[in-house]
Chains A and B, each alone.
Chain A
Amino acid sequence: GESVGLHLPTLSVQEGDNSIINCAYSNSASDYFIWYKQESGKGPQFIIDIRSNMDKRQGQRVTVLLNKTVKHLSLQIAATQPGDSAVYFCAEMYSGGGADGLTFGKGTHLIIQP
């Protein structure tokens, strides 16, 4: 389950392995979803997005899966590298309301073991 405050969920994987980071979103009206990567001392960095009319989207080494029935989002990273170590956030929004802000999840700390 997710944690609050300083205690982020942590996922530790071996370099070269695949990793899957999961996210449960809250608003059934949300129709646009983004995964961000945040390294220490930096702002969130865009990885990949998906709209609600899709259930899968692939990028370079990353795949996002969307299950609207259970309000679940996942990020798969293939062949992880040391540079993938970071905190990963999912974010959701309803795009029909104008310039709405993103609602972020609490984050997962991905650690790549050499």
Chain B
Amino acid sequence: EPEVTQTPSHQVTQMGQEVILRCVPISNHLYFYWYRQILGQKVEFLVSFYNNEISEKSEIFDDQFSVERPDGSNFTLKIRSTKLEDSAMYFCASSGRFSNQPQHFGDGTRLSIL
């Protein structure tokens, strides 16, 4: 069964450093998403991406965040200058030809900011 893959599984970074989280969505999907989950809390929407541009973004997704689809398979989330409160699990998801189809999630990247 096709799946969303994310790398790395764990990223440790010094506060103030830039970090790039990588995702390979399911190959024939058209909608891509990033979510985050702070330890023990619910999953929170960050941003959605369709047709090579941001479709929606939440209040969390401020100017420190950016997304990119650099080629036909990868989807990345960049945090420019990390803060302690950016420590969380970051999940990538993708869905098929229409937005109201199930979003399938990767197993996440655990980001630890020191």
Name A residues whose Cβ lies closer than 8 Å to a Cβ of B: 4-6, 8, 31-32, 34, 36, 41-46, 49, 51, 89, 91, 93, 95, 97-107
Contact = CB atoms under 8 A, between A and B. Distances in A.
B107 A49 contact: no
A46 B94 CA distance: 12
Contacts of A89: 42-43
Contact of B58 (A42, A101, A105): A101
B56 to A, nearest CB: 5
Contacts of B33: 99, 101
B56 A43 contact: no
Given A41-B107, A107-B42, A34 B102 contact: yes
A93 B33 CA distance: 13
Nearest to B3: A43
25 contacts: A5-B40, A31-B100, A42-B107, A42-B108, A43-B4, A43-B106, A43-B108, A44-B43, A46-B102, A93-B100, A95-B99, A95-B100, A97-B56, A98-B50, A99-B50, A99-B56, A100-B56, A101-B47, A101-B48, A101-B58, A102-B35, A102-B43, A102-B103, A104-B44, A105-B42
B75 interface: no
B104 A104 contact: no
Residue from A31, A46, A95, A101 whose CB has the most chain B CB atoms within 10 Å:
A101
A46 B50 contact: no
Contacts of B56: 97-101
Contacts of B107: 41-43
A99 B55 CA distance: 6
Contacts of B108: 42-43
Nearest to B89: A43
Interface in B41-78: 41-50, 55-56, 58
